[in-house]
Structure 1
């Protein structure tokens, strides 16, 4: 896997210049440089060496989801147990999904984490209501394990795919409902393959 050549910034703030394309040829003795055979022969190894050096130049950035190759971005997502990412999705969305999953990992399953995840997938505002809270002994309601999710749209995802991703984020013990544009499209415990709505006719 080869990354595109990258001009990195040094601690001094200066940019590291690109490598001379004939960096290996220019290391030959003057007498050998004058012969076309030696130049062409060394150029073969120079091309191979350049590929290795460019990868080494980029090693500091290979785990940066903003510049890493798309296939590596999806692989990085698997490190943090992110749901598998469809390679057909727009590249920018893939990067944002992994970045958001990493940022909200410690909030996973909470109202805050669900809201951020919904806003990422829908590319718009989201509302999360739940029955959780803190009560004095004996004052807790009989039913607090519920969550209601609302978004204006499913963004760039089909409704069925949107539901599948949300299903993995909702706490297993909680009953969940998902509304898209005020229309109920999913309730936990129901088969996502037969979700209630044909909203946007994406599914």
Structure 2
């Protein structure tokens, strides 16, 4: 970048694929053709740069913050703005595995471990029920519940409602839950 009387002037981005190289060799000797294609190179260089780096935009660990939120919509993941960006990136990066384990205690434990910086204890009622009929009546063989205790280094940073939303998303719908956040 050069400075001219206190005004910063950006140098044009060089094109990695100059158009003059793709024309017949007879045009390479013409200064008019070289200057004419250089004008297009200046315009196309920024587009080519984005296309060459598209892999970084779709990698949640490398993408700019606004792209991470956009990528989360690809997976149907709702991100809480109160989470640190590292946790948001981790949830998007592991979305497929988290969805695969959804509805299990292992999935709930993994989802909380990705989002939270601390220890998570999960206690559950145990047992399962199933039915060969679609839309069966709710099983009355006992109450299903999950109790989650989160011990974190900084409890003021954690939104209890955000943690409860993670639990609601990761546990089976019919299972009641309680949450306790401890320092």
Q: RCO (CA 8 Å, sep 6+): is it higher in 1 or 2?
A: 2
CA distance in 2, matches of 1:134, 1:173: 11
CA contact (8 A) 1:121 1:155 kept: no
CA contact (8 A) 1:83 1:165 kept: no
CA distance in 2, matches of 1:125, 1:147: 16
What is aligned with 1:143? 142
TM-score computed with the length of structure 1 as normaliser? 0.61
Residue 46 (str. 1) matches residue 41 (str. 2): yes
1:17-56 residue pairs with structure 2 within 5 A? 21=15, 23-24=17-18, 27=21, 29-32=28-31, 39=35, 42-56=37-51
Q: What is the CA distance between 1:57 and its match in structure 2?
A: 1.8
Give structure 2 stretches of 5+ with no counterpart.
Answer: 1-12, 22-26, 130-139
**1:91-113 deviations in Å (ceiling 9; x for gaps):** 32221121233221111121001
What is aligned with 2:165? 164
CA contact (8 A) 1:152 1:180 kept: yes
**1:118-159 deviations in Å (ceiling 9; x for gaps):** 112221221111122369xxxxx9424111111113584322
The count of residues paired between Structure 1 and Structure 2 equals: 154
CA distance in 1, matches of 2:156, 2:113: 9
Structure with the bigger percentage of strand: 2
TM-score computed with the length of structure 2 as normaliser? 0.66
What is aligned with 1:187? none
What is aligned with 2:71? 76
Give structure 1 stretches of 5+ with no counterpart.
Answer: 1-18, 136-140, 183-203
Q: What is the CA distance between 1:51 and its match in structure 2?
A: 2.0
What is aligned with 1:190? none
- CA RMSD of the aligned region, Å? 3.3
What is aligned with 1:175? 176
